[in-house]
Amino acid sequence: MYKVIGNTNTRTFRVLWAMNEIGLEYKHLKVGAQSAEAQLANVSGKVPSLEANGVNIADSTAIITYLADKYNQLTFPAGTIERAQQDSFTQFILDELDSILWTAARHSFVLPKEMRISGLKNTLHWEFAISLKVLESRMGTGPNVMGEKFTIPDIILTHIGGWARVAKFDIPDGKLRDYFRQQIKRPAYISAINL
């Protein structure tokens, strides 16, 4: 059976949500980043990891992509134009939204105090707002990033929406705010959030 390693209040949530969407069974090892179990699964101590067939796979996007391809769900097939567009959204969301929230987190509580740079906050909020606008203009009429089909970037983006709220990054009224409101009603999201 699959083993998911990492607490729900981390990017592990993305993996749990994806596995619930696909309908997979798994054991959930609720451990923090840098715990002994997390370090055993991934030398960096980061979470999530997925143990599959005795092998550990690190990185939430790599894990979700592996499962999506394997079960032919949450994704367009590799080698199609739709998949290229889907991956393009995924990369944009990781580069332009995830990385900004992660930088904010690193410089507020992850890095050792003496390595944190104060004064980044305004720049990060400004960049985040621009990224949201670009994404809104790239997205069509929904209901998902890729239109009718719910895919990997929806999981990553919706998780980022919740993260932004907790980290006090503004999501202005508009297409993306409405999008987040709809995505969090999905049954697989609700069952993952309660893990």
The answer to whether 45 contacts ligand GSH (rule: CB under 6 A) is yes
The answer to whether 5 contacts ligand GSH (rule: CB under 6 A) is no
Per-position DSSP letters for 60-81, written without gaps between them: HHHHHHHHHHHHT-SSPPTTSH
CB of 130 to ligand GSH, least distance (A): 22
- Determine the Cα angle at 39 with ends 159 and 118, to 5°: 55
Count CA atoms closer than 13 A to 6's CA, side-chain side.
Answer: 27
Of 46 and 145, CB closest to ligand GSH = 46
Among 20, 60, 65, 131, binds ligand GSH (CB under 6 A): 60
Q: Report the distance separating Cα 44 and Cα 34, nearest Å.
A: 8
- Determine the Cα angle at 157 with ends 17 and 167, to 5°: 100
In this chain, which stretch among 44-52, 71-79, 132-140, 176-184 interacts with ligand GSH, using CB under 6 A?
A: 44-52
Of 35 and 73, CB closest to ligand GSH = 35
Of 166 and 178, CB closest to ligand GSH = 166
Instruction: With CA atoms as reference, report the closest residue to 177 among 186, 191, 165.
Output: 165
Q: Report the distance separating Cα 174 and Cα 177, nearest Å.
A: 5
Of 120 and 147, CB closest to ligand GSH = 120
Of 59 and 82, CB closest to ligand GSH = 59
Q: Report the distance separating Cα 67 and Cα 136, nearest Å.
A: 27
Interaction residues for ligand GSH, span 90-149 (CB under 6 A): 110
In this chain, which stretch among 39-47, 116-124, 142-150, 187-195 interacts with ligand GSH, using CB under 6 A?
A: 39-47
CB of 148 to ligand GSH, least distance (A): 26
CA distances from 64 to 24, 124, 147, 174, 189 (A): 12, 27, 19, 28, 14
The answer to whether 47 contacts ligand GSH (rule: CB under 6 A) is yes
Q: Which residues bind ligand GSH (CB under 6 A)?
A: 10-11, 33-34, 45-48, 59-61, 110
